[in-house]
Amino acid sequence: MSEVMSQNEIDDLLKTLASGGGQTPQQPQMPQQGFAPQQQFPQQPMQQGFAPQQQFPQQQFPQQQQVPQQQQWPGAYQQPQPQQQVFSQVPLTPGFEQSVAPPQFQQLKPPAAAPTPAAPAAPKKNLANRKIKPYDFRRPDKFVKEQLRTINKIYENFSRTVTTSLSSMLRTMVNVQVISVDQITYEEYIRSVPNPSVISVFDVGGDLKGNAVYEMNPSLALAMIDRLFGGPGKTLPKSRSLTNMEETVMKKIIARILNDLSEAWQQFVNIEPKIELIESNPQFTQIAPPTAMVLLVTFEVRIQNTEGTSNLCFPYIVLEPILEKLNVQFLYSGVNKVEAAASTKRIEDSLKKAKIPLVVELGRTRISVNDFLMLNENDVIVLNKHTNELLEVNAGGRLKFKGNPGLLDNNLAVAIAQVIRDNEEVEL
């Protein structure tokens, strides 16, 4: 060489010779669809690729350059070789597209759920047709709806009982029905009652304390009185107050109705109604303050061709002790259908006051009609009883006792010696 080389040129030349002949080995290009397994690559060190037939220790490859075989060259192999399975667990190298996994490794997705049909929209309520009931805070309701329904059931039973009682008493067809059960103030009730009218103030009695009112239309009262006096049961064309005699008759009718009222309430409470007075002017029947709430039950009464109304008015304070019992469960429960002790005692007292005939039979005999016609004074009739035998004592025509005859304070008497039971056989 004729020219002298500088130190830098000498260094560059040495680097070129050390690198393999002055040419930098180029990386083989990967085929897009695959490559032939017999293709040989130069034996230079590989930085980014390798031949499929050449085996290398797994630790000689950097972690980021190991690519799964099925994802590096899709379609290159029909059957993967056993030594190549170690590369299926290496994460993907950036720059390679992920191929579709074989069918045996595909994860089946659950079928998409069918879309839930939307719930039908609720029909819009027509507020224009709704009935709105005003609520007055100055007069709050005292009875709930369930209590009013129970009271309605009680008075339906009461109306059926009164229908039977009045029909038998007046000897004509009578029909009584419940029209309404309301809660209003006592002042409103007094204003609704006509003047004159038949107003009976009675003491509820029994387990309840206080007074109540039973009011009847004058046309109905006069029709009942006319029927009891032997008339056809017609009413007068014009209403009037009752006379003293008519009030006396009307008290008996109202007492019969109040007796049926006690039977209607017997399942819930024991009451003993007693009439205190009968008025024709509603202003004279102040049983509660004007603003007090009352329970008003209105009835429709029909007697042949005569129709009218009657009502019962109970102040709230009178019914307050039994409000918790006024429910449907208590009404239809079988336990509460047993008669109360007070009712049983009342029945016993009524039976004790009843009068029955008591007859002592001295004896019996048979004679002919001719002997009977020829009987005279001082004649002796022989009976079938001996003097030492017990006499039969009949109560209401039935043999109940046997006793010995005698005297008590110069009066004939009999001493009970034996009681005859209903299931005992008696030798006559």
- CATH code: domain of residue 404: 2.30.330.10
Residue 81 lies in a domain: no
Question: What DSSP state is assigned to residue 56?
Answer: -
Bond preceding residue 196 cis, omega within 30 of 0? yes
pTM, full prediction: 0.49
Domain boundary among 350, 368, 395: 350
Q: Which domain holds residue 244?
A: 145-350
Q: What pLDDT, on the 0 to 100 scale, is given for residue 134?
A: 65
The residue whose two tokens read 């009949």 is: 394
How far is 350 from 321, CA to CA, in rounded Å? 28
Closest C-alpha among 246, 235, 227, 217 to residue 173: 227
Asked if 345 and 365 sit in the same domain, the reply is no
298 phi and psi angles, rounded to 5 deg: -105, 135
Q: What pLDDT, on the 0 to 100 scale, is given for residue 396?
A: 84
Asked if 194 and 229 sit in the same domain, the reply is yes
Domain boundary among 329, 350, 371: 350
Domain boundary among 299, 329, 350: 350
Residue 66 lies in a domain: no
Residues 6 or more apart from 27 whose CB is under 8 A from it?
Answer: 46, 47, 48, 49
Estimate to the nearest angstrom the gap between the alpha carbon of 290 and the chain centroid. 35
CATH number of the domain bearing residue 209: 3.40.1550.10
Q: What pLDDT, on the 0 to 100 scale, is given for residue 298?
A: 94
The residue whose two tokens read 């309701």 is: 141
Residue 324 lies in a domain: yes
Spell out where 51-205 has E strands. 174-185, 198-203
Burial class (CB in 10 A: 0-12, 13-18, 19+), 357: exposed
Residue type, position 388, single letter:
N
Spell out where 256-305 has E strands. 274-279, 293-303
Number of domains forming the structure of the chain: 2
Residues 6 or more apart from 102 whose CB is under 8 A from it?
Answer: 70
Ordered per-residue pLDDT tens for the chain, 428 residues = 445 667 788 888 888 787 765 454 454 454 444 444 454 544 544 444 444 444 544 444 444 444 444 444 444 445 555 554 444 444 544 444 444 445 454 455 555 555 555 555 555 555 556 666 665 556 666 788 888 888 998 999 999 999 999 998 888 889 999 999 999 999 999 999 988 899 999 999 888 999 999 999 888 898 999 888 888 877 777 778 888 898 999 999 999 999 999 988 888 888 999 999 999 898 888 899 988 999 999 999 998 888 889 999 999 999 988 888 887 666 666 444 545 556 677 788 888 888 888 899 888 899 999 988 999 988 988 888 888 889 899 988 888 899 988 888 888 898 998 898 765 555 44
Asked if 234 and 342 sit in the same domain, the reply is yes
Q: Buried (b) or exposed (e) across 70-83, using 16+ Cβ within 10 A?
A: bbbbeebeeeeeee
Residue 191 lies in a domain: yes
Asked if 269 and 198 sit in the same domain, the reply is yes
Write down the H helix ranges in 73-172.
145-170
Bridge partners for 151 per DSSP: none
